[in-house]
């Protein structure tokens, strides 16, 4: 499964976001470093289920919406100079290694300082928090490269290609290739053969951008002054209210409201059962949703997966006529695939043996046979024909 990580300074609402997105237990409190060890849970991306267009009955969606699982990690809060060991230091950064993308949660209200201490709404500039995470991650990558640079330089014997390969091998765990290093170097006009360690900082920044695409999520939208919202929006911040989402999910679980994560509004099931305080709370959340077109939590997850990571949803089936598996289960699986993926890639994702024995595929919508190099589209329903049993 894909893995998203929630990152940011302490006390910005990461754990509230995590709990709202996963409904998993996570300690929440209004002080720094509530989270020390990372929390692991399962969140979901929401997409329109293929059954709505195929006019078949599917038991794996909710009212036509399909929820596809992704891993979500809530890591400990990061403070400036974490790469030097401040706060919880590199423990935080190492936990991000496994993430495919990062949701950088900031306190958009400006109510907490750079270390997460409450200072009152508007007394801290959230724009400062936007910058420092990228810097800390850059310096983390730089620290790793610094440890290996002498060896890389010695083994390369002054050959640029060998240096590119050495750097790529150092960051294999981040999914960095030799071609990536070459492209970065060319873009920066960086001569790796004669580069000093100072020259390598921009290279490390680009490695972070490639390996850990990031979405800035301005949490606590409901507490953020309007002028601050406008300024942050101009800087590309995506807003959310994790507390609102958590309240809605709890209310839906208690059958007080009808709500699906990602809906732009909710419906009260029985208004007569609500207290005045509950009505006031839901009215406030409704106002937030009107301005944000939802609470922003599900929307942020979707944006990270479908836009940052450029994924599509594909449905593998065994019976192309009934869109089901051998047991008659309609659209039993939904896989997240990178845009540009082929049926052969899908076969490997279903099972390694299926991929190795791949023969051809059938587009279940058209009943046409397609090549292994055919580019899959979002919502495709595909039958894989393989020599593997």
Residue 382 dihedral angles phi and psi, to the nearest 5°: -130, 135
Q: How high is the pLDDT of residue 107?
A: 94
Residue 50 placed within a domain = yes
Same domain for 320 and 296: no
Please say which residue of 303, 334, 366 terminates a domain: 303
Q: To 10 degrees, the CA torsion angle through 315, 317, 321, 324?
A: -100
Supply the pTM of this predicted model.
0.89
Q: How high is the pLDDT of residue 86?
A: 59
Q: How high is the pLDDT of residue 369?
A: 96
Same domain for 196 and 160: yes
Residue 223 placed within a domain = yes
Please say which residue of 191, 210, 229 terminates a domain: 210
Q: Tokens for 254?
A: 């208690």
Residue 37 placed within a domain = yes
pLDDT higher than 50, residue 30: no
Q: How high is the pLDDT of residue 28?
A: 42
Residue 131 placed within a domain = no
Range of the domain at 147: 136-210
Same domain for 109 and 16: yes
Q: How many domains, in total, are found in the chain? A: 3
User: Any idea what the CATH number is for the domain that residue 370 is in?
Assistant: 3.10.20.30
Residue 360 placed within a domain = yes
Q: What is the per-residue pLDDT across 41-98, written as a single tens digit (0 to 9) for each? A: 999 999 999 999 998 999 999 999 999 999 999 987 776 666 666 555 556 666 777 8
Q: How high is the pLDDT of residue 353?
A: 95
Same domain for 105 and 55: yes
Same domain for 108 and 38: yes
Q: Please, which pLDDT band fits residue 26 given cuts at 50, 70 and 90?
A: very low
User: Any idea what the CATH number is for the domain that residue 155 is in?
Assistant: 1.10.8.470
Same domain for 99 and 225: yes
Same domain for 93 and 228: yes
Please say which residue of 210, 232, 263 terminates a domain: 210
What is the Cα–Cα distance from 248 to 96, expressed in whole angstroms? 29
Q: How high is the pLDDT of residue 29?
A: 42
Same domain for 166 and 27: no
Listed in sequence order, the residues at least 6 apart from 34 whose beta carbon sits closer than 8 Å to its beta carbon are 10, 11, 15, 27, 28
Same domain for 222 and 187: no
Q: How high is the pLDDT of residue 116?
A: 84
Residue 226 placed within a domain = yes
Count of CB atoms situated within 10 Å of the CB of 386: 18
Candidate from 90-104, 192-206, 243-257, 340-354 with smallest mean pLDDT? 90-104
Same domain for 361 and 228: no
Residue 103 dihedral angles phi and psi, to the nearest 5°: -95, 105
Three-class DSSP category at 328: coil
pLDDT higher than 80, residue 192: yes
Q: What is the per-residue pLDDT across 206-217, written as a single tens digit (0 to 9) for each? A: 999 999 999 999
Same domain for 198 and 338: no
Candidate from 75-79, 270-274, 290-294 with smallest mean pLDDT? 75-79
Residue 124 dihedral angles phi and psi, to the nearest 5°: -135, 145
Of the candidates 93, 73, 186, the residue with the CA atom closest to the CA atom of residue 135: 93
Between the ranges 115-119, 137-141, 291-295, where is the mean pLDDT highest?
291-295
Same domain for 120 and 231: yes
User: Any idea what the CATH number is for the domain that residue 103 is in?
Assistant: 3.40.50.300
Residue 247 dihedral angles phi and psi, to the nearest 5°: -65, -40
């Amino acid at each position: 499964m894909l893995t998203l990580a929630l990152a940011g300074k302490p006390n910005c609402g990461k754990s509230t976001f995590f709990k709202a997105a996963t409904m998993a237990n996570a300690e929440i409190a209004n002080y720094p470093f509530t989270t020390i060890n990372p929390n692991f849970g399962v969140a979901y991306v929401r997409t329109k289920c293929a059954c709505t267009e195929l006019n078949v009955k599917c038991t794996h969606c909710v009212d036509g919406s399909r929820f596809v699982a992704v891993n979500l990690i809530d890591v400990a809060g990061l403070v400036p100079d974490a790469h030097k060991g401040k706060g919880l230091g590199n423990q935080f950064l190492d936990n991000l290694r496994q993430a495919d993308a990062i949701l950088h949660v900031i306190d958009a209200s400006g109510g907490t300082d750079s270390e997460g201490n409450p200072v009152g709404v508007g007394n801290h500039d959230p724009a400062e928090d936007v910058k420092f995470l990228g810097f800390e991650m850059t310096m983390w990558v730089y620290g790793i490269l610094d440890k290996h640079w002498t060896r890389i330089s010695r083994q390369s014997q002054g050959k640029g290609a060998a240096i590119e390969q050495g750097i790529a091998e150092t960051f294999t765990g981040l999914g960095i290739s030799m071609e990536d290093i070459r492209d970065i170097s060319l873009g920066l006009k960086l001569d790796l053969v004669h580069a000093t360690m100072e020259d390598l900082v921009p290279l490390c920044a680009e490695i972070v951008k490639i390996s850990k695409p990031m979405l800035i999520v301005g949490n606590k939208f409901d507490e953020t002054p309007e002028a601050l919202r406008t300024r942050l929006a101009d800087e590309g911040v995506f807003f959310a209210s994790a507390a609102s989402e958590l309240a809605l999910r709890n209310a839906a679980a208690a059958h007080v409201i009808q709500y699906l994560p990602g809906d732009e509004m909710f419906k009260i099931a029985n208004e007569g059962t609500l207290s005045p305080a509950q009505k006031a709370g839901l009215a406030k959340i409704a106002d937030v949703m009107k301005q944000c077109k939802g609470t922003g939590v599900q929307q942020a997850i979707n944006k990270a997966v479908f836009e940052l990571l450029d994924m599509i949803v594909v449905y593998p089936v065994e019976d192309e006529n009934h869109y089901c598996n051998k047991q008659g289960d309609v659209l039993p699986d939904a896989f997240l695939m990178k845009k540009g993926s082929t049926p052969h890639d899908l076969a490997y994702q279903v099972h390694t043996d299926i991929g190795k024995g791949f023969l051809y595929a059938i587009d279940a919508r058209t009943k046409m046979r397609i090549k292994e190099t055919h580019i899959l589209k979002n919502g495709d329903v595909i039958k894989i024909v393989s020599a593997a049993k």
